[in-house]
Amino acid sequence: MSPQNEVEFIQKSEKIEPPVAYKRNSYVRSMAEYQEKYKHSIEDPASFWREIADELTWIQRENSVIEGSMPDFSFFPGSKINVCQNCVDRHALDPKRRNKVAIFFEGENGERRSWTYLQLHREVQKFANVLLSLGLSKGDVVSVYMQNLPETYVVLLACFRLGILYNTVFAGFSPEALRERILSSNAKAVICANGSYRRGKVLNLKDTVDAALRDEHPVQHVIVFRRIENLEVTMDPTRDHDYEELMQKASASCEVVPLDCNDPGLLIFTSGTSGKPKGIVHAGGGFLLGTYAYSKYQLDLRDEDVYWNTADIGWLTAHIFVLVGGLALGVTTILYEGAIDYPHQGRVYEMIERYQVNKLFSAPTAFRMLMKYGEELAKKYDLSSIQLLASVGEPLNPEAWHWLYRVIGQNQVVINNTWGQTETGGTPLASLPGATPMKPGSCGVPFFGHQLDVVNQDGQSVPDGTPGFLVIRTVFPTLARDVFGDRKRYVNNYFAPMPGVYFTGDSAVRDSDGQYWVLGRVDDVINVSGHRISTMEMESSLIAHEAVVEAAVVGQPDEIKGAVPVAFVTIDKQYTPDEELANALQRKVIEDIGSFAKPERIHFVNVMPKTRSGKIIRRMLREIIEEGTVRGDATGLEDSDILDKLIAEVKEDSANR
């Protein structure tokens, strides 16, 4: 859709009211109620955050609520809180919740087990003692290379208990990607599973860890959880430990460490506009405050819910809405290990039916996949328990929205398309499910205490209905506090582009009802199935291959994945532009970044469209693959003759495959 058509579509979009039955049980039940509470939260943000803080357990509470401004701000400075205590202890010590199931786990192989809050409490304390016994304590960093397992939750909660910064690395990332994260965070320990099931195959995670640690590194301990009984791995007796052996020796009682609300709590790497991934630092206490508030009001999480968020623990969504936000609210969650369409396409439905899931949170990509599998399949299962479907990470297109509403939701459901980023540590935009009229494709309204705006290049607000840059004007507790070890990059990336506001890097439109529609990135980041990939990072990987002279990567729209990366390369004359070289280049990207970043196609070209200052104009490459021609302004080209040549080359190259 062209930007003009897009805006027309937004202005005309229909409004669907949340089901009456849902409204009755929602924390906010009408737009008027939302608007009043929102207005008050912007006029007096401290009162809103104080209200949230009052629902949490504090070790010590001071009066001050918000101090400073972007980029140096703090929430409840001097007050002491512990994330783990709020997510585990307070439920385990509550007679009404202690025997409630915290986690229902299902492995891809069919294994099932569950833990109550009381059991979780015991395991977490033991593992915290394990960490202490290895000499790890507040301020240290550990890398966690595990898939969705109850033990992964134990590890992360134990880190929160002690103030150890954890960094989860998606269990599927290559040795190089893992190594880079270990080195840049100076991790003292790695905690991994020996292996993981994925689409029926076994991934040997310990082998990846060994490969990542081949050369010099800061890691003193590797703790290996034996997920797959008979998967043999090599254990280095000077460095590696068996999880179970350590747990057997550990005592089940470990005090929580009092932490300042602004102390760093977790570290998560994400792609930015430059080649190297950034280690985003979130404050532990701040993350708890915010994620508790988002989970409560945007998902209406309640004691009686059976809530399944399919996000992998390698992505921040699982930390926001399950590990911290979800557990802080004391809900029953479902944790699933592998591919949600394995061993059969109806696996998601089968699990919804088995546990009577009433709130399902997943990625738009996964929802589009279900749509592709068809309506007949969905009809074979009892999905009547579903009340809320939520998603984050990429646009939820109106077609998928309607399909979900009708087929999975049976027209009696709330769909909440939330917007957030690794850096925002939560979702500043979303529906308040019982209050906001739903508009298919919209990302809803600003959350309490968050002042969002759409502005032009000069930072001035644009009228409703006009696309512009999405910015956030107020500080909030889950906003990233730093880029690990690189304060300058933090300030330059997020606060320098437009002084006084947080620059999201996204473009958006606000409609006349105050709902926001996020249109896409304004920088060189592409979103493949919700995985953020820096095109620069992919280009650096390609250029490092000896045959490649220049590389440019662009995103091509894809029905299921949202976008797929397509690479354009010019190569050294000594090499032949053939299938073998294309395969080798694809393998290189997979090795350097991970399989999700594999370029869908490699186009060998002789020339690149460039500006006079020598910058590759990626927009033109995007237009060539999408429309076979360049429609936008071509006057910035250094050599305007090259366009026809380039278009012909891409056509020929595509025809040859």
Residues that bind ligand PRX (CB under 6 A): 270, 316-317, 392-395, 417-422, 443, 504-506, 518, 521, 527, 532
Residues 537, 544: contact at Cβ < 8 Å? Answer: no
- Which residue's CB comes closest to ligand PRX? 422
The distance of closest approach from Cβ of residue 268 to ligand PRX in the complex, given in angstroms and rounded to an integer, is 9
The distance of closest approach from Cβ of residue 25 to ligand PRX in the complex, given in angstroms and rounded to an integer, is 24
The distance of closest approach from Cβ of residue 584 to ligand PRX in the complex, given in angstroms and rounded to an integer, is 29
For ligand PRX, which is the closer residue by CB, 195 or 314?
314
Q: Is the torsion defined by CA of 325, 329, 334, 335 positive or negative?
A: positive
Q: Could you say which DSSP state residue 107 is in?
A: -
Distances (CA, A) of 632 to 334, 624, 636, 643: 48, 11, 10, 12
Q: Is 455 helix (H, G, I), strand (E, B) or coil?
A: strand
The distance of closest approach from Cβ of residue 170 to ligand PRX in the complex, given in angstroms and rounded to an integer, is 11
For ligand PRX, which is the closer residue by CB, 147 or 271?
271
The distance of closest approach from Cβ of residue 292 to ligand PRX in the complex, given in angstroms and rounded to an integer, is 16
For ligand PRX, which is the closer residue by CB, 325 or 577?
325
For residue 200 the two structure tokens come to 């029926």
The distance of closest approach from Cβ of residue 332 to ligand PRX in the complex, given in angstroms and rounded to an integer, is 22
Cα distance between residue 551 and residue 571, in whole Å: 9
For ligand PRX, which is the closer residue by CB, 254 or 443?
443
Please provide the DSSP assignment of 463-516 as one string: PTT--EEEEE-S--TTS--EETT-HHHHHHHHTSSSTTSEEEEEEEEE-TTS-E
Cα distance between residue 379 and residue 399, in whole Å: 19
Q: Could you say which DSSP state residue 57 is in?
A: -
The distance of closest approach from Cβ of residue 479 to ligand PRX in the complex, given in angstroms and rounded to an integer, is 13
Cα distance between residue 541 and residue 588, in whole Å: 7
The distance of closest approach from Cβ of residue 87 to ligand PRX in the complex, given in angstroms and rounded to an integer, is 18
For ligand PRX, which is the closer residue by CB, 29 or 619?
619
Residues 142, 190: contact at Cβ < 8 Å? Answer: yes
Angle CA 168–81–393, to nearest 5: 35
The distance of closest approach from Cβ of residue 443 to ligand PRX in the complex, given in angstroms and rounded to an integer, is 5
Cα distance between residue 80 and residue 615, in whole Å: 50
Residues ≥6 apart with Cβ < 8 Å to 618:
524, 535, 552, 553, 554
For residue 452 the two structure tokens come to 């969002």
Q: Is 16 helix (H, G, I), strand (E, B) or coil?
A: strand
Q: Is the torsion defined by CA of 640, 641, 646, 651 positive or negative?
A: positive
For ligand PRX, which is the closer residue by CB, 64 or 595?
595
For ligand PRX, which is the closer residue by CB, 330 or 428?
428
For ligand PRX, which is the closer residue by CB, 166 or 419?
419
For ligand PRX, which is the closer residue by CB, 393 or 477?
393
The distance of closest approach from Cβ of residue 266 to ligand PRX in the complex, given in angstroms and rounded to an integer, is 13
Phi first, then psi, for residue 322 (nearest 5°) are -125, -70
Cα distance between residue 524 and residue 273, in whole Å: 6
Residues ≥6 apart with Cβ < 8 Å to 484:
184, 185, 267, 278, 279, 280, 281
The distance of closest approach from Cβ of residue 393 to ligand PRX in the complex, given in angstroms and rounded to an integer, is 5
For ligand PRX, which is the closer residue by CB, 362 or 417?
417
For ligand PRX, which is the closer residue by CB, 58 or 502?
502
Bridge partners of 101, per DSSP, are 116
Terminal-to-terminal C-alpha distance of the chain: 28
The distance of closest approach from Cβ of residue 267 to ligand PRX in the complex, given in angstroms and rounded to an integer, is 14
For ligand PRX, which is the closer residue by CB, 145 or 419?
419
